């Protein structure tokens, strides 16, 4: 399973990339706003750090507006993947982007039927929001499993990108289900490393080394 970092914080991206853990990056308008910088500034920095897919989101809600924004984003760098909301106008744009050779990440997916339609429109990635489904007493992992099963049943080529991941268990479950990608906040990436037995074992090794030194 590929790991993307869900962030627009350049320091966090550098940190994760330095560990060799980052296959790509996802951003959204909220993350860009939090960074206090423009989208183009952030993207130009990211491409210097990560050589992989970088999702940048359009903010228009009509097809023509999405096409105009998406084409501009795609020109910034060859690694750009245009992030499009899962609405009717978005699927119209996805179909055109696909014909033009522009990769897309269809976001804000909350049902298997939405995912099926996005795949039929030609989406490169589908982003089901697992944590947000859990937030309303749904089963985010059940949604992920349904999407993966449908895609496999019909050999759909759209990659499943597990999003809105809140903790390491989400990552384990997504990997066991066979998700193509999981996009993780910087905090969760570091949580994946943590285990009390590792800390205890290292402490014991270092103590023993001092004794023998």
Q: State yes or no: pLDDT of 208 exceeds 90.
A: no
As a whole number of angstroms, the distance between CA 19 and CA 189 comes to 10
Q: What are φ and ψ of residue 29, in 5° steps?
A: -55, -35
The domain ranges of the chain are: 2-212
pTM: 0.94
Q: Summarize the confidence of residues 109-122 as an average pLDDT.
A: 98
Could you give the percent of the chain with pLDDT greater than 70?
100
Question: 197 exposed, middle or buried (CB, 10 Å; 0-12, 13-18, 19+)?
Answer: exposed
Q: State yes or no: pLDDT of 210 exceeds 90.
A: no
Q: State yes or no: pLDDT of 47 exceeds 90.
A: yes
CATH topology of domain 2-212: TIM Barrel (3.20.20)
Q: Summarize the confidence of residues 189-193 as an average pLDDT.
A: 96
pLDDT of residue 53: 98
Catalytic residues: 83
pLDDT digits (tens, 9 = 90+) for 62-89: 999 999 999 999 999 999 999 999 999 9
pLDDT of residue 213: 64
pLDDT of residue 212: 77
Q: How many other C-beta atoms can be found within 10 angstroms of the C-beta atom of residue 153?
A: 8
pLDDT digits (tens, 9 = 90+) for 144-190: 999 999 999 999 999 999 999 999 999 999 999 999 999 999 999 99
pLDDT of residue 50: 97
pLDDT digits (tens, 9 = 90+) for 4-40: 999 999 999 999 999 999 999 999 999 999 999 999 9
Q: Summarize the confidence of residues 104-121 as an average pLDDT.
A: 98
């Amino acid at each position: 399973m590929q790991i993307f970092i869900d962030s627009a914080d350049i320091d966090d991206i550098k940190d994760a990339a330095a560990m060799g853990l980052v296959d790509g990056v996802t951003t959204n308008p909220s993350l860009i706003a939090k960074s206090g910088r423009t989208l183009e500034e952030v993207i130009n920095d990211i491409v210097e750090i990560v050589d992989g897919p970088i999702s940048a989101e359009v903010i228009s809600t009509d097809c023509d507006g999405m096409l105009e924004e998406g084409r501009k984003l795609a020109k910034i760098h060859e690694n750009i993947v245009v992030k499009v909301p899962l609405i009717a106008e978005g699927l119209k744009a996805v179909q055109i982007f696909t014909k033009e050779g522009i990769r897309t990440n269809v976001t804000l997916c909350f049902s298997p039927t939405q995912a099926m339609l996005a795949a039929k429109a030609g989406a490169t990635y589908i982003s089901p929001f697992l944590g947000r489904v859990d937030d309303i007493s749904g089963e985010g992992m059940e949604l992920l499993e349904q999407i993966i099963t449908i895609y496999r049943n019909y050999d759909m080529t759209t990659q499943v990108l597990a999003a809105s991941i809140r903790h390491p268990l989400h990552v384990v479950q997504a990997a066991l289900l066979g998700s193509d990608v999981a996009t993780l906040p910087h905090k969760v990436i570091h949580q994946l490393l943590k285990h009390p037995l590792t800390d205890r074992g290292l402490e014991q090794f270092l103590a023993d080394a001092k004794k023998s030194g």
